[in-house]
Amino acid sequence: MRLDHLSLTQFRSYEQADWPLAGADVHVLLGPNGMGKTNLLEAVSVLSTGSSCLGAEEEDIMQWGKDYYRVRAKARSDAGEEKQIEVVSQRLPRKARACYLNDVRTPVGKLFGVLPTVTFLPQDLELFTGSPARRRSLLNDLLEQISEAFAQHLAVYQKVLRQRNTLLQKIAEGTGREQDLAVWDEPLAREGAAVTLAHLELLKVLQCTLGEEMRHLGESWRDAQLVYERKGEALTQEGIEEEMKAGLLHYRERDLLLKATSVGPHRHDWRMDADGRSLPTFASRGQQRTAVLALLFLQVSYMEIARGEKPIVLLDDVFSELDEERQSRLLEVLGKHQVLLTATHLPPRLGKAMVWEVQKGKLSLRPSALLRSQHVA
């Protein structure tokens, strides 16, 4: 999949912007910090998954003081089929959002995977030592774009979880009844089991070629593994559901004290092991970066196999953080993909790329003569 054109209206720092991307596969968004580079990648993520890759709320991405935003893309599938994707979100007179596929109103769930993306954020460089929230969202973002059923399970799970947590709050305040928790435990366990099962299967698939990918990047660890961390051992929908129901009961007292649900896939985690040891306990920072890069390649190739479409790769401020060898490998592996990357300084050795200068809500193509002289200098 390739974006040919992106337009933004009242999105973050952009009052109105047009970004024509048909001229190249690699696009560099160049500019000092705070100029609006990441905002553009975020706009692509909104079209891809219906939500911000930074986890931002609708009110945060809507331009300050405005009542709506619009993001619209013209894209082309690998087979050459044209697609128009649009998301419009308003704040007033009431909060509402509409999505359009080829100008026909579409539920947000149908948008998932139409414009497949894989995102690499700066915090991903510390993926294995950073917060578990990002590790969980990595699995969820990938699965949502691949499976409509998963996206539905996750949406229902999150909704039921919010309802159960609200009830826990109310019980603490004396306005809710403890016996009503059972109403939420049943659907939470059912949806939670489906989400857990999908996480387990995804890690198993990614794991298949993990060792090979690491070897390509110059790390020959024996037995590199992706390990899911959860309470329980069941491997079937029914089994996980039963374990989760038992867990919800067992930890009810704790949940009541915490006023939050402490059992389920929103609390699960995963890690990478090699030779039986967890990565952060033995791998250098450089080795951890290699592992993260391997994981990026695994996501890209899995997405391509599962969707039959090459994902667009969004790299936010990470390219320049990689050494020469890893940069080359990245460009080699992603050679046939559209890659949109942000940087504060023009990275050398980019090959055929279009460079866009980003200045306070404005986007302009850097003249190629300038680009050449930069290369010579």
Q: Where do contacts with ligand ADP occur on this chain (CB under 6 A)?
A: 12-13, 31, 33-39, 60-64, 342, 358
Residue 179 binding partner per list ligand ADP, Mg ion, none, with a CB distance cut-off of 5 to 8 Å that depends on partner kind: none
In the complex, least distance from residue 149 CB atom to ligand ADP, rounded to whole angstroms:
33
Q: Which residue's beta carbon is nearest to the bound Mg ion?
A: 38
Nearest to 219 by CA among 140, 257, 272: 272
Q: Which does 12 bind (CB under 5 to 8 A by kind): Mg ion, ligand ADP, none?
A: ligand ADP
The smaller minimum CB distance to Mg ion, of residues 90 and 123, is found at: 123
Kindly tell me which of 38 and 52 has the beta carbon lying closer to Mg ion: 38
Judged on CB neighbours under 10 Å (0-12, 13-18, 19+), 174 is exposed
Q: How far is the CB of 13 from ligand ADP (least distance, A)?
A: 4
Say if CB 345 and CB 320 are below 8 A apart.
Answer: yes
Paired tokens of 57: 């709320």
* Residue with Cβ nearer Mg ion (39 or 196): 39
* Pick 111 or 314: Cβ nearer ligand ADP: 314
Burial letters for 219-257: b for 16+ Cβ neighbours within 10 Å, e otherwise? bebeebbbebebebebeeeeebbebbbebbeebbeebee
Within 10 angstroms of residue 169's Cβ, the number of other Cβ atoms is 13
> Among residues 304 and 317, whose Cβ is nearest to ligand ADP?
317
* Residue 279 interacts with, from ligand ADP, Mg ion, none (CB under 5-8 Å by kind): none
Q: How far is the CB of 34 from ligand ADP (least distance, A)?
A: 4
CA 21 to each of CA 38, 199, 340, 344: distance values in angstroms, whole numbers, following the listed order:
16, 34, 10, 20
Binding site for Mg ion (CB under 5 A): 38
Residue 296 beta carbon to Mg ion: minimum distance, rounded to whole angstroms: 18
Shortest Å, Cβ 65 to ligand ADP: 8
* Rounded least distance, CB 123 to Mg ion, Å: 12
**What's the CA angle centered on 96, arms 167 and 188, to 5 degrees?**
30
Rank residues 38 and 299 by Cβ distance to ligand ADP and give the closer one. Answer: 38
Residue 343 interacts, among Mg ion, ligand ADP, none and using kind-specific CB cut-offs from 5 to 8 Å, with none
Rounded CA-CA distance 174/170 in Å is 6
Q: Give me 107's structure tokens.
A: 């539920």
- Return the DSSP state at 346: P
For the CB of residue 62, give the shortest distance to ligand ADP in the complex, in Å.
Answer: 6
Q: What is the helix (H) or strand (E) element at residue 339, kind and residue range?
A: strand 339-343
Which one of Mg ion, ligand ADP, none interacts with residue 36, CB within 5 to 8 A by kind?
Answer: ligand ADP
CB of residue 72 to ligand ADP, shortest distance in Å = 18
The site partner of 31 among Mg ion, ligand ADP, none (C-beta below 5 to 8 Å per kind) is: ligand ADP
Residue 128 contacts residue 221 (beta carbons within 8 Å): no
Nearest to 163 by CA among 191, 195, 136: 191
Task: Give the C-alpha separation, 263 to 259, whole Å.
Answer: 12
Cβ proximity to Mg ion, 12 vs 268, nearer residue: 12
Q: Which is nearer to Mg ion, 38 or 196 (CB)?
A: 38
Residue 352 tokens, joined: 């055929």
In the complex, least distance from residue 351 CB atom to ligand ADP, rounded to whole angstroms = 23
Backbone torsions φ then ψ of 183, nearest 5 degrees? -60, -35
With CB under 5 to 8 Å by kind, the binding choice for 315 among Mg ion, ligand ADP, none is none
Considering CB distances under 5 to 8 angstroms, the limit depending on partner class, which of Mg ion, ligand ADP, none binds residue 284?
Answer: none
Query: 292 vs 341, which CB is nearer to ligand ADP?
Result: 341
Question: Which CA distances in Å does 49 have to 54, 68, 78, 124?
Answer: 12, 19, 19, 19
Residue 113, contacted partner among ligand ADP, Mg ion, none, CB below 5-8 A by kind: none
